[in-house]
Structure 1
Amino acid sequence: MCALTLCFMYISLTNGTFDLSAKDVLRTLLRINPAKDHDLVIFDFRLPRIVLGALVGFGLGIAGAVLQGITRNSLADPGILGIHAAAGAFVVLYMFFAAGTMKTPDWFAVLSMPMFGFVGGLVAVVLLYIFARQNGEFNPQQLILVGIALASGFGAITLFVSLKMDPQNFEMAAVWLAGSVYSANWRQVLSTLPWLVILIPVIWRRAAVLDLMQLHEVSVKGLGVAVGRERQILLLCCVGLVSACVSVSGSIGFVGLIAPHIARRLIGNSYKYIVPLCGMIGMLMVVIGDFIGKTVFAPAQLPVGIVISIIGVPYFILLLFKTRTK
């Protein structure tokens, strides 16, 4: 997965409207007689876009694996459970009020957007806890139904608020909501990186707990695991990852759904290996999806969220039918 990801990163870095050779890239990165136009293309346009897409895919893939683990539901996903939509709604609200009334520096807006997304994700989790639990446990079918309802509700709020924006901000919000890393910059990379660096090790250290959570809740408690506390910690980590990713890329769905299924087919059910592998698969999906979106439809650019959804929707329907027939 690392090799494939690096390969597609290289392809994405060298191909586009302005093609570059491997020699041009190496000379620019190593600062050997660099050309200004090469610096502009690599450091201002392509490299931050590739790095941000990789970070977003890594975070969303891991968040999807954890959500499927703590709910014991193979259809669970940040988008399907409404966490994407809630985080996106709060970010759009921030964009609306910050653009309309508050005069904030660009760096402050970029750094504070993940916090607003985090609050939105927490709201979605609280609502899931209220409506999708029976006798202290998550009901898998009810969880999906509540998640779809939350996604629809927060999506309606997002659409209503975006329609109140002025034309320029509405266009920016519309592209962002489709799931795009088109306007990525290094400030967005720096705002996302701390969330991943802090939260992913917390999740990985609880890989054994995620393995135990695949058992019945009574069995897990009998083994001495504080199920409620561990689930809350993992849920908060998922919300943090999803919020940080959504705040810079918009709603890129189905990464958290597909990556865990591919990982389990490759290495089994041990979360010690599933967690990092899901991150790599998510990273690869977003990098490839962004490359397809910017090259296949050139000179127009298709948001990466739409490219992944074209693949993800049929896959979700297939999984849904398989789940119903079991």
Structure 2
Amino acid sequence: MQLKIGSKLMLSGLVITVLLLISIYLHLTSGSYAMSLGEIFRTLFGWSDDRKLELVIFQFRLPRIIVGALVGAGLGIAGAVMQGITRNGLADPGILGINAGAGTAIVIYIFFFQGMIQSESIGGWLAVLMMPIFGFVGGLLVALLIFAFSWRQGTLDMQRLILTGIALGTGFGALSLYISLKMNANDFEMATVWTTGSIYNANWIYIYAMLPWVIILSAILYRKSYLLNYFQLSDDSVRSLGIRNEREKVVLLLASIGLVSACVSVSGGIAFVGLIAPHISRRLVGNDYRYNMPISALAGMVLLVFSDYIAKTVFAPAELAVGIVVSIIGVPYFLFLLARANRGG
């Protein structure tokens, strides 16, 4: 049985990795400045003297691909954790309001501090490095409000948690829009990027800012992934195994919030990745979260990198926000899952 699961994991990982490499290839070679695979390899390994190729690859396309892959992996992992904790296949960081809370905090940050942060005395590094912190505070605030409304007799009521998250997400989304309308033109344009979800302005500073968050929090969540298997049992059964049920859920939720906040800080509110990726993973490797979580990360990478490729090429030279492309895919899939859940399938 273990061999069968291991073989399924390796095969699924290999297939998704190939799809990811294809998505990266398409993303690198397409655009207003087309290039061949040979030119890309020569430039990546420093065998080319073409400065224009170096500029396009290292300053524009490669950072965008890396940010897309990191954000996709982070949202995929967070989505798997949310669905495991709530025992609800329709749970998602966006649906639970965490995206909206983190995004609103970043919009407030832009509104009050962006002019000062962009000054020469502080520099752009501090601006980007502070965004995940503001995002985490916003996501944490939503989580605390969700806990306050969902905590009943010493336990988390998962149905109330989801309903509260939806309500808070709507409220914070409206607050974010209100604050955006009070901004000047330049800050409003930047805030719009966060609210729609886009990675077209990705750079290496964004990567350095979010990479520690993604690595550390993903490692924590994976280390505790076995607990998500136990959480599929009743709460009394979990406690009988000696597991501190509510404490472990809080730790997992906080780590997920940090991971989502880091993603939102550089990409804005991209919905449905955390919903779709875990479902793809479950179909490929089953319900064991020790295997489900890494495949969810890979599926999230493919989904976001390929969606960003579509966003930049379908209406070229104009570009769509990647969040719009993911939503076009995600809304029908969400309705399909909802209809299947209603049928009991």
Report what 1:228 is aligned to. 246
Alignment partners' CA distance in 2, 1:298 and 1:77: 31
**Fraction of identical pairs, as percent:** 54
Asked whether 1:87 is paired with 2:105, we answer no
Alignment partners' CA distance in 1, 2:337 and 2:267: 26
Report what 1:318 is aligned to. 336
Supply the RMSD in Å over aligned alpha carbons. Answer: 1.2
Q: What amino acid maps onto 1:300 in structure 2?
A: A
Alignment partners' CA distance in 2, 1:99 and 1:167: 13
Asked whether 1:67 is paired with 2:82, we answer yes
Alignment partners' CA distance in 1, 2:49 and 2:244: 56
Report what 2:157 is aligned to. 139
Q: Does the 8 A contact of 1:65 with 1:260 survive in 2?
A: yes
Q: What amino acid maps onto 2:301 in structure 1?
A: M
Residue 99 of structure 1 and its aligned partner are, at CA, apart by 2.2
Trace 1:279-294 onto structure 2 (pairs within 5 A): 279-294=297-312
Report what 2:225 is aligned to. 207
Given the alignment, which residue of 274, 280, 285 partners 1:256?
274
Alignment partners' CA distance in 2, 1:79 and 1:34: 44
Asked whether 1:151 is paired with 2:176, we answer no
Q: Deviations over 1:27-60 (max 9, x none)?
A: 1111113201101110011000000000000000
Q: What amino acid maps onto 1:217 in structure 2?
A: D
Asked whether 1:124 is paired with 2:164, we answer no
Q: Does the 8 A contact of 1:68 with 1:76 survive in 2?
A: yes
Distance 1:33 1:262, change over 3 A: closer
Q: Does the 8 A contact of 1:27 with 1:34 survive in 2?
A: no
Residue 230 of structure 1 and its aligned partner are, at CA, apart by 1.1
Q: What amino acid maps onto 2:317 in structure 1?
A: P
Matched residue SS, 1:27: helix
Alignment partners' CA distance in 1, 2:192 and 2:90: 27
Alignment partners' CA distance in 2, 1:267 and 1:116: 36
Report what 1:51 is aligned to. 66
Q: Deviations over 1:59-80 (max 9, x none)?
A: 0000000011111111111000
TM-score (norm 2): 0.92
Residue 100 of structure 1 and its aligned partner are, at CA, apart by 4.4
Report what 2:323 is aligned to. 305
Alignment partners' CA distance in 2, 1:316 and 1:184: 28
Given the alignment, which residue of 103, 109, 113 partners 1:98?
113
Alignment partners' CA distance in 2, 1:33 and 1:76: 47
Q: Does the 8 A contact of 1:71 with 1:138 survive in 2?
A: no
Given the alignment, which residue of 43, 46, 58 partners 1:31?
46
Residue 18 of structure 1 and its aligned partner are, at CA, apart by 0.6
TM-score (norm 1): 0.97
Distance 1:319 1:139, change over 3 A: farther
Residue 314 of structure 1 and its aligned partner are, at CA, apart by 1.4
Moved over 4 A (4+): 100-103
Residue 173 of structure 1 and its aligned partner are, at CA, apart by 1.3
Given the alignment, which residue of 235, 238, 258 partners 2:256?
238
Q: What amino acid maps onto 1:77 in structure 2?
A: D
Residue 177 of structure 1 and its aligned partner are, at CA, apart by 1.5
Q: Does the 8 A contact of 1:75 with 1:144 survive in 2?
A: no
Alignment partners' CA distance in 1, 2:207 and 2:280: 27
Given the alignment, which residue of 249, 263, 271 partners 2:289?
271
Q: Does the 8 A contact of 2:156 with 2:246 survive in 1?
A: no
Matched residue SS, 2:95: coil
Alignment partners' CA distance in 2, 1:23 and 1:119: 45
Given the alignment, which residue of 24, 31, 54 partners 1:9?
24
Asked whether 1:107 is paired with 2:125, we answer yes
Residue 189 of structure 1 and its aligned partner are, at CA, apart by 0.5
Alignment partners' CA distance in 2, 1:127 and 1:319: 27
Alignment partners' CA distance in 2, 1:225 and 1:176: 38
Residue 131 of structure 1 and its aligned partner are, at CA, apart by 1.4
Matched residue SS, 2:34: coil
Matched residue SS, 2:275: helix
Matched residue SS, 1:299: coil
Q: What amino acid maps onto 2:79 in structure 1?
A: G
**Consecutive unaligned residues in structure 1, runs of 5 or more:** none
Report what 2:182 is aligned to. 164
Count residues in correspondence: 326
Residue 101 of structure 1 and its aligned partner are, at CA, apart by 5.2
Q: Does the 8 A contact of 2:194 with 2:264 survive in 1?
A: no
Q: What amino acid maps onto 1:260 in structure 2?
A: P
Q: Does the 8 A contact of 2:99 with 2:269 survive in 1?
A: yes
